[in-house]
């Protein structure tokens, strides 16, 4: 049975819990290694990636999280969560640790400062209708490894296309915040992903 | 953004930014070096200002928006969001701060008010605003003016948490009293709160403010921060409490950890050890009414 944890060190974990709760899955907070052991899928919320990374280090969660990813459990990260799942980050703190797992290079605050934060209708692969995507001091993906599938891109003012939603195996990441809208399709997509992964794992 | 479908400065984008700060600590800093210490300690944002509230109290005089050079330097130094304070009602200071690219403006009673009867029309701005409140009515009036985040005022620069507790309990108590009221009673409550009916009805339905609620003013220890979280704050502003203490680096880290683990006394105990001296603090009863910042704003 699927039990989804939401990393609850800092950020908008309450909104992710709300989005997941309407999808008929068991949801709980994860704040330490013991709580991580009781879940078989994980969401890393939006927040400040530097803060989340530091707190994860201090409570001894970083290594267990890396192992969780390596063991093939499904993990979804939005915004700061995308940064945490990236193998490489640009414009981060020099000593900023990530969990890693997705073969991408992500640039922090790539769209600019808060005055540049925006919402837009985004086309997502296999979604019939567009998705209202909220980007807040958001990162984008600058390099994509060969085993990474790009599910959505955003064209910036200078016509560059940047991936903003990617998947690699059991790992999913978005630069935007579906948890800030009432549209649960991204969470639904993740739950379906997690269900197929957990049936393989068990 | 060129595409008109792409909205900047929408309520969702402004309020959403505050959602990302939840469970975090926002620290007052007066230069780039302090900003780096704050970021290293795990602050979710820094508040750039020329003098911390304890020094504003001590020095007296008119307290204003900070020097743009200093704000630029802090923005260039850290990767986390940078906030800055504008005087209550000082539209131009707010416009300047927005042009500098600060991520949030605090229309703050800690600075000397510029307008005695009007707060800034915050809906005219792309940058989001946080405002102080001592009760629910005040919070809703600020939200109606476009504030995307509220902080309980407390009494800044005192190192005394008593006013922060009073204001947080008042706001939460005011919200609790709306529960179960029928429509006629909500109209009457809106009149008493001097706030728009729509916002009052929304609060009654949600059981909380429609925006993120932080706490501020007098938080000096990890236990203070955890107490405010237990009383229902979504996060904590710490002003003078860190850089007016004996060991700012350790205290900053300790307050961050206490805010995350606010309901685990063993963590609070661990991080409270060996922090050196806390800021001295002031007892509120001996503060003359004219020196109480919380009474500024309406």
Q: What percent of chain A is predicted at pLDDT more than 90?
A: 90
Active-site hit among A15, A16, A79, A187: A79
Query: Cα–Cα distance between B163 and B219 in angstroms, integer?
Result: 10
SS3 letters across B145-205:
CCCCEEEECCCCCCCCCHHHHHHHHHHHHHHHHHCCCCHHHHHHHHHHHCCCHHHHHHHHH
Verify whether the Cβ–Cβ distance A47 to B104 is below 8 Å. Answer: no
Q: Are strands A74-78 and A41-44 parallel, antiparallel or unpaired?
A: parallel
Contact with chain B for residue A8, Cβ under 8 A: yes
Q: ∠ at Cα A84 (A81, A86), nearest 5°?
A: 110
pLDDT in tens, chain B (298 residues): 334 457 999 999 999 999 999 999 999 999 999 999 999 999 999 999 988 888 888 888 899 999 999 999 999 999 999 999 999 999 999 999 999 999 999 999 999 999 999 999 999 999 999 999 999 999 999 999 999 999 999 999 898 999 999 999 999 999 999 998 999 999 999 999 999 999 999 999 999 999 999 999 999 999 999 999 999 999 999 988 899 888 999 999 999 999 999 999 999 999 999 998 877 777 777 788 778 888 888 7
Query: B80 near B104, Cβ under 8 Å?
Result: no
Average pLDDT for chain A: 95
Q: What is the pLDDT of residue B141?
A: 98
Q: What is the pLDDT of residue B4?
A: 45
Q: What is the pLDDT of residue B2?
A: 39
Verify whether the Cβ–Cβ distance B103 to A137 is below 8 Å. Answer: yes
Contact with chain A for residue B72, Cβ under 8 A: no
Chain B residues closer than 8 Å to A109 by CB: 79
Query: A5 near A39, Cβ under 8 Å?
Result: yes
Chosen for mutation from A10, A83, A132, A140 (greatest number of chain B CBs closer than 10 Å) is: A10
DSSP letter for A160, please. Answer: -
Verify whether the Cβ–Cβ distance A47 to B20 is below 8 Å. Answer: yes
What would the DSSP string read from start to end of chain B? --STTSEES-HHHHHHHHHTTTT-EEEEESSHHHHHHHHHHT-SEEEE-SS-HHHHHHH-S---PPPHHHHHHHHHH-SS-EEEEEETT-HHHHHHHHHHT-SEEEEETTSPPS-SS----GGG-SS-EEEEESSHHHHHHHHHTT-SEEEE---TTS--THHHHHHHHHHHHHHHHHTT--HHHHHHHHHHHTS-HHHHHHHHHHTS-SSEEEE-SS--SHHHHHHHHHTT-S-EEESHHHHTSS-HHHHHHHHHHHHHTTT-HHHHHHHHTT--PPP----GGGS-GGG-GGGS--
For A114-150, how does the pLDDT look when each residue is reduced to its tens digit (9 = 90+)?
999 999 999 999 999 999 999 999 999 999 999 999 9
Residue B270: exposed, middle, or buried by beta-carbon count in 10 A (0-12, 13-18, 19+)? Answer: middle
DSSP letter for A136, please. Answer: S
Q: What is the ipTM of this complex?
A: 0.95
Q: Which residues of chain A have pLDDT under 50?
A: none
- The pTM of this model reads 0.95
How many residues make up chain B in this entry? 298
Query: Cα–Cα distance between A183 and B186 in angstroms, integer?
Result: 30
Contact with chain B for residue A50, Cβ under 8 A: yes
Which residue among B7, B16, B98 sits closest to A180, beta carbon to beta carbon? B16
Query: Cα–Cα distance between B185 and A191 in angstroms, integer?
Result: 43
Q: Are strands B82-87 and B45-48 parallel, antiparallel or unpaired?
A: parallel
Q: What is the pLDDT of residue B237?
A: 97
Contact with chain B for residue A15, Cβ under 8 A: yes
């Amino acid at each position: 049975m699927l039990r989804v944890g939401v990393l609850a060190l800092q950020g908008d974990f309450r909104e992710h819990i709300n989005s997941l709760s309407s999808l008929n899955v068991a949801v709980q907070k994860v704040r330490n290694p013991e709580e991580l052991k009781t879940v078989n899928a994980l969401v890393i919320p939006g927040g400040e990636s530097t803060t989340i990374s530091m707190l994860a280090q201090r409570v001894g969660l970083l290594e267990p999280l890396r192992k969780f990813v390596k063991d093939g459990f499904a993990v979804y990260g939005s915004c700061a969560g995308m940064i945490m799942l990236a193998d490489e980050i640009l414009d981060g703190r020099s000593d900023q640790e990530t969990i890693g797992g997705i073969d991408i290079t992500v640039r922090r605050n790539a769209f600019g400062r808060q005055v540049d934060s925006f919402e837009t209708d985004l086309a997502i692969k296999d979604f019939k209708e567009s998705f209202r995507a909220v980007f807040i001091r958001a990162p984008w993906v600058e390099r994509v490894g060969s085993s990474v599938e790009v599910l959505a891109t955003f064209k910036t003012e200078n016509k560059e296309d940047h991936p903003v939603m990617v998947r690699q195996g059991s790992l999913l990441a978005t630069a935007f915040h579906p948890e800030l809208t009432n549209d649960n399709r991204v969470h639904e997509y993740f739950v379906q992903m997690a269900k197929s992964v957990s049936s393989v794992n068990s | 953004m060129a595409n008109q479908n792409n909205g900047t400065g929408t309520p969702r984008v402004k309020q959403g930014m505050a959602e990302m700060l939840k469970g975090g600590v926002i620290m007052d800093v007066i230069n780039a070096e302090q900003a780096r210490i704050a970021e290293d300690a795990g602050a979710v944002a820094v508040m750039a200002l020329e003098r911390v509230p304890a020094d504003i109290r001590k020095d007296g005089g008119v307290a204003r928006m900070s020097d743009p050079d200093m704000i630029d330097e802090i923005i260039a130094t850290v990767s986390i969001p940078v906030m800055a304070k504008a005087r209550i009602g000082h539209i131009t200071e707010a416009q300047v701060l927005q042009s500098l690219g600060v991520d949030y403006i605090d229309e703050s009673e800690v600075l000397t008010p510029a307008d005695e009867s009007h707060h800034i029309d915050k809906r005219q701005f792309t940058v989001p605003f946080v405002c102080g409140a001592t009760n629910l009515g005040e919070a809703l009036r600020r939200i109606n003016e476009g504030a995307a985040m509220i902080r309980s005022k407390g009494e800044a620069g005192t190192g005394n948490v008593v006013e922060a507790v009073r204001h947080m309990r008042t706001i939460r108590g005011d919200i609790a009293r709306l529960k179960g009221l029928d429509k006629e009673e909500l109209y009457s409550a809106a009149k008493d709160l001097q706030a728009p009916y729509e916002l009052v009805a929304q609060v009654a339905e949600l059981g909380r403010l429609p925006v993120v609620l932080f706490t501020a003013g007098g938080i000096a220890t990890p236990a203070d921060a955890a107490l405010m979280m237990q009383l229902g704050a979504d996060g904590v502003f710490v002003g003078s409490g860190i850089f007016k203490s004996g060991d700012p680096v350790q205290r900053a880290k300790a307050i961050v950890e206490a805010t995350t683990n606010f309901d685990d006394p063993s963590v609070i105990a661990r991080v409270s050890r060996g922090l050196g001296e806390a800021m001295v603090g002031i007892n509120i009863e001996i503060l003359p009414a004219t020196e109480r910042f919380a009474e500024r704003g309406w």
